[in-house]
Chain A
Amino acid sequence: MTRLIGQRLLAMVPLLLIVSFLTFSLTALLPGDPADLILGDRATAEQYEMVHERLGLDQPFLVRYVQWLEGAVRGDLGTSFFNSVRVVDAVVQRMPATLSLTLASVLISVVVGLGAGVAAALRPRSWIDRLATFGATIGQAIPNFWFGLILVSVFAVALNWFPATGYVPFKDSPGQWLRSITLPALALGLSTSAAIARQVRSAMVGVLQQDYIRAARAQGLSALRVTFKHALKNALVPVITVLSFQVTVLLGGALIVEQVFAINGIGSLAIAAVRQQDIPMIQGIVLVLVLVVMLVQLVTDILYGLINPKARPS
Chain B
Amino acid sequence: MTISFKTLVASAVLSVALSAPAAWAEPSGTLRLGEQAKLITMDPHQHSGGGAGYLRPVYESLFDHDADNNLIPLLAESYEVDGTTIKVKLKEGIKFSDGAEFNAEVAAANLNRVIELGVQASMKLAEKAEATGPYEITISLKSPDPSIIDALSGTAGMMVSPNALKDPALDRNPVGTGPYVYSAADSREGELRVYLPSPDYRTPDDQGVARLELSEIPDATAMLNALKTGQIDIAIFLSSPQAAIVDRTSGIQLLRQPGGTTYHLGLMDREGTKVPAFADKRVRQAMAYAIDRAAFSKAVEFGLSVPAYQPYGDGLWPHDPALDGKYAYDLDKAKELMKEAGYEDGFEFDMPSIPVFASRLEAVAGFLKKINITMNIVTVEPGTLARRSMSTDFPATNLVWNTFLDPKYLTTYYVAKEALFNPYRVEPDPRLMELSEEGLAKVEYADRAPIYNEMFENVSDDSYIIFITTTPILFGVSDAMAENPTVKFRPGTDTPILRGLRVDN
Q: Which residues of A contact B (CB under 8 A)?
A: 40-42, 82-85, 89-90, 93-94, 156, 163-166, 259, 261-262, 264, 268-269, 272, 275-276
Bound form: Cα–Cα A82–B39 in Å: 12
From A40, A156, A259, A268, give the contact of B190 (CB < 8 A): A268
Interface residues of B in 372-423 (CB under 8 A from A): 379-381, 384, 387, 390-393, 423
- Contact A272–B381 (Cβ < 8 Å): yes
Bound form: Cα–Cα A259–B168 in Å: 32
Is B217 close to A, CB under 8 A? Answer: yes
Bound form: Cα–Cα A40–B380 in Å: 14
Q: Which residues of A contact B219 (CB under 8 A)?
A: 165, 259, 262
Query: Nearest chain B CB to A94's CB is how many angstroms away?
Result: 7
Q: Which residues of B contact A82 (CB under 8 A)?
A: 40
Bound form: Cα–Cα A82–B423 in Å: 20
- Contact B379–A275 (Cβ < 8 Å): yes
- Contact A264–B226 (Cβ < 8 Å): no
Q: Which residues of B contact A165 (CB under 8 A)?
A: 219, 221-222, 225-226
Q: List 30 A-B contacts (CB under 8 A).
A: A40-B387, A41-B391, A42-B390, A42-B391, A42-B423, A82-B40, A83-B41, A83-B171, A83-B172, A85-B189, A93-B191, A94-B188, A94-B189, A94-B191, A164-B229, A165-B222, A165-B226, A166-B222, A166-B229, A262-B217, A262-B219, A262-B226, A264-B188, A264-B190, A264-B216, A268-B190, A272-B38, A275-B380, A276-B380, A276-B384
- Contact A94–B190 (Cβ < 8 Å): yes
Chain B's closest residue to A272 (CB) is: B381
Q: Which residues of B contact A84 (CB under 8 A)?
A: 168-172
Q: Which residues of B contact A94 (CB under 8 A)?
A: 188-191
Q: Which residues of A contact B384 (CB under 8 A)?
A: 275-276
Q: Which residues of A contact B393 (CB under 8 A)?
A: 41
Bound form: Cα–Cα A89–B184 in Å: 11
From B221, B228, B379, B381, give the contact of A262 (CB < 8 A): B221
- Contact B379–A264 (Cβ < 8 Å): no
- 15 A-B pairs besides A94-B188, A275-B381 with CB distance below 8 A are A40-B390, A41-B391, A41-B423, A83-B41, A84-B169, A85-B189, A163-B231, A164-B229, A166-B229, A166-B231, A261-B222, A262-B225, A264-B188, A269-B190, A275-B379
Contact A164:B392 (CB < 8 A) given known A40-B387, A83-B41: no
Q: Which of B221, B222, B423 has the most CB of A within 10 A?
A: B222
Bound form: Cα–Cα A122–B391 in Å: 65
Q: Which residues of B contact A261 (CB under 8 A)?
A: 222
Q: Which residues of B contact A163 (CB under 8 A)?
A: 225, 229, 231
Q: Which residues of A contact B172 (CB under 8 A)?
A: 83-85
Contact A262:B222 (CB < 8 A) given known A41-B391, A82-B40, A166-B231: yes
From B168, B188, B229, B392, give the contact of A41 (CB < 8 A): B392
Chain B's closest residue to A84 (CB) is: B169
- Contact B225–A93 (Cβ < 8 Å): no
Q: Which residues of A contact B225 (CB under 8 A)?
A: 156, 163-166, 262
